[in-house]
Structure 1
Amino acid sequence: MIIFNFFIMCFIFGTTFLAIKIGVDAGAPPFMSSGIRFFLAGFVLFIMMMKKGKAKISLLVRKEMLLSGLGLTFGTFATLYWAEQYVNSGIAAVLSATGPMMILLIQTFIFREKFSNKSLIGCIIGFTGVILLLSSSFTYEASLHWILGCIMILLGEVSYACGALYSKRVIGIFKETSPIALNAAQMMYGGALLFVLSLFTEKIAVDSMISVKVIGSLLYLIIIGSMVGHSLFYWLVANTNPVFPSTWLYISPLIAITLGSLLNHEAITWLMAVGAVTIICGTIFVNLDSLQKAMKKKTSPF
């Protein structure tokens, strides 16, 4: 059951990039649509946790939830949704896999933590892949928006890394609260912040929000992408260890690239493919020590 759920989660996370792309291309305002996705998904999950007695309404007035939502949801997905107006879903997924590298760099240069030679090699390999991927714009489409979109996704991963590191502290503070409830609360805050950003930057046309593609994209991302996907992630964390579920980063980008090419006719050049594989290899090296430790630990049965 663990392996089955793991691959279902990888497939779901791999498809979310294409679902975002379909909605944005159909005319959905990036910030408004992402705000709707995360606020509604967080709201429904939080209500479910409250009914099970695993969350209290007082959690929603804690500053920790606001700060978590700022990093994990707002900063990460405001940039991703905006970028997918110009960057195809496969490349967006690959660039999003740099999150662990950003975490390592923040831990090293800000928190002054030591890291292994394997992690250093992983960073070098990973960022070489990023350079290859960005340089592919000169053979694929010499577009300033394309390059800016890639850079925005990378900045979003810096936000994700900050949010992930802060969330470790938050989980320690709220030991008696379900991690799913904490995630739901931060998604609500992140979604609300995306709403605010949309009000100041986007002109909302009702017609653009009620098309079949936009509604279908939103429903898929809310129910399957956020509620089912993230619930599977936290189930895997509870039944294995914190590292194993995170290896979706090595599999989902390949799924996203394949689906984008097959279903959305997204162009893939040889340089893009080399860059994508290089980034994934770098991500594996960055996490190699943690993965080796995780493999030595026994996992809990279902």
Structure 2
Amino acid sequence: MTRRDLITFFTLSFMWSLSFIFYRIGVPEFGSLAFASLRVVLSGLTMLVFVLLNAKNRQGIRENYKVLAVVGLLSAAIPFVLFAFSAQTINAGVLAVLNASVPMMSGFIASTFFKDKLSKKQIIGLIIGIVGVFILMSESLFTEQGQAVSLSSSLLPMGYGLLACVGYATGANVTKNYLSEISPIAITAGSLIIASLIMLPIAIYAFPYGQSISVTAWSSVICVGVFSTAIALIFMNQLIKNIGAMRATSITLVIPIFAIFFGYVLLDEALDIGAIIGSVVILFGTYLSLNLSLKNLARS
């Protein structure tokens, strides 16, 4: 892993963590399902520009449209809808922990179906990172607005969230193993355009007609669609090609750190010792799971 890959890794963490802020602003006005579907549609429209401006990208999409359709479904359309349903009854802490299971699932899929074996160091790093996420979210993990969340009422929504994570992990491995010959822009454009066509009817159906949507809410859904989805997935697909699916999806371990930081700075949320300890544990686990070498990074 080069220094450039590491910079991309943390830049992507920053971009995706902002989606938590955008969701906090936009979901109350749009509703979960409408916001999630609009996110995909806007990201598809954004990537359409890249396709129109570059003939090579169009060729790559035409030659691989079947695999891109699978990636679009697994990495965008289905997970966004599943998480939208989960978010209606499960608090953000539980969803963050579920999302942090993606690299472990990705590693399992890579080693089982694609013979991409993980080292003991990487496996230990993943486990440490997930422990760090639990520490990070310990105060809010099983509570919502001070009330305990019923396990029985959360099982189905948690199942939705886990299925979404399986989609992310599978989509990353499919991208790594079947789309290595085309550019990250073509991969992102093809998968998101197809996903947006699927999600467009849902966006039309779920849109809150008759309600006044503020400029701030519209800005949040545009930003999450353009920057936290379209542009971010270009970086993600490049990262998957460079360092592999499991190490790239380890980004889900780091995202909560940025999310808590932005919550503290922008939303005046509390920052306690548990958050600091959890962040340190996550960074150490991520360091191991990425199989980093400080000497190699300095040389690169």
Taking structure 2 as the reference length, what is the TM-score of the superposition?
Answer: 0.74
- Corresponding position of 1:180: 185
* Separation (CA, whole Å) in 2 of partners of 1:148 and 1:267: 30
Q: Deviations over 1:134-165 (max 9, x none)?
A: 79415953123667655543432211000011
Q: How many residues align?
A: 289
Match of 1:125 among 123, 128, 132: 128
Q: 1:21, CA displacement in angstroms?
A: 2.7
Q: 1:248, CA displacement in angstroms?
A: 4.7
* Separation (CA, whole Å) in 1 of partners of 2:269 and 2:13: 20
SS in 1 for 2:179: helix
Is residue 28 from structure 1 mapped to residue 30 from structure 2 by the alignment?
yes
Q: 1:30, CA displacement in angstroms?
A: 2.3
Counterpart amino acid of residue 104 in structure 2: M
* Separation (CA, whole Å) in 1 of partners of 2:111 and 2:134: 22
Q: Against the structure 1 CA distance between its residues 114 and 62, is the aligned structure 2 distance closer, same or farther, given a 3 Å change threshold?
A: closer
Q: 1:6, CA displacement in angstroms?
A: 6.3
- Corresponding position of 2:226: 223
- Corresponding position of 1:142: 148
Which residues of 2 match residues 170-209 of structure 1 at below 5 A? 170-172=178-180, 175=181, 177-196=182-201, 203-208=206-211
Q: Mean alpha-carbon deviation: is it higher for 137-146 or for 95-104?
A: 137-146
CA contact (8 A) 1:93 1:253 kept: yes
* Separation (CA, whole Å) in 1 of partners of 2:8 and 2:124: 31
Match of 2:76 among 64, 73, 82: 73
Q: Deviations over 1:102-151 (max 9, x none)?
A: 11122344556543222332344345456665794159531236676555
Q: Against the structure 1 CA distance between its residues 194 and 56, is the aligned structure 2 distance closer, same or farther, given a 3 Å change threshold?
A: same
Q: 1:73, CA displacement in angstroms?
A: 0.7
Match of 2:107 among 104, 107, 112: 104
Match of 2:16 among 7, 13, 18: 13
SS in 1 for 2:80: helix
Counterpart amino acid of residue 53 in structure 1: A
Counterpart amino acid of residue 226 in structure 1: T
CA contact (8 A) 1:43 1:185 kept: no
Q: Deviations over 1:32-86 (max 9, x none)?
A: 3222222232233233233222322783682212111111112332233333445
- Corresponding position of 1:160: 168
* Separation (CA, whole Å) in 2 of partners of 1:113 and 1:178: 22
Q: 1:249, CA displacement in angstroms?
A: 4.2
Q: Against the structure 1 CA distance between its residues 204 and 229, is the aligned structure 2 distance closer, same or farther, given a 3 Å change threshold?
A: closer
Q: Mean alpha-carbon deviation: is it higher for 39-48 or for 246-255?
A: 246-255
Q: Percent identity of the aligned residues?
A: 25
- Corresponding position of 2:40: 38
Q: Against the structure 1 CA distance between its residues 141 and 293, is the aligned structure 2 distance closer, same or farther, given a 3 Å change threshold?
A: same
* Separation (CA, whole Å) in 2 of partners of 1:34 and 1:138: 24
CA-based RMSD of the aligned residues comes to 4.1
CA contact (8 A) 1:123 1:286 kept: yes
Match of 1:257 among 257, 260, 267: 260
Counterpart amino acid of residue 37 in structure 1: R
CA contact (8 A) 1:98 1:157 kept: yes
Q: Mean alpha-carbon deviation: is it higher for 35-44 or for 58-67?
A: 58-67
Q: 1:259, CA displacement in angstroms?
A: 1.7
Taking structure 1 as the reference length, what is the TM-score of the superposition?
Answer: 0.73
CA contact (8 A) 1:98 1:279 kept: no
Q: Mean alpha-carbon deviation: is it higher for 188-197 or for 263-272?
A: 263-272
Provide structure 1 residue ranges, at least 5 long, that are not aligned to the other structure: none
* Separation (CA, whole Å) in 1 of partners of 2:122 and 2:230: 32
Q: Mean alpha-carbon deviation: is it higher for 160-169 or for 261-270?
A: 261-270
Counterpart amino acid of residue 96 in structure 1: N
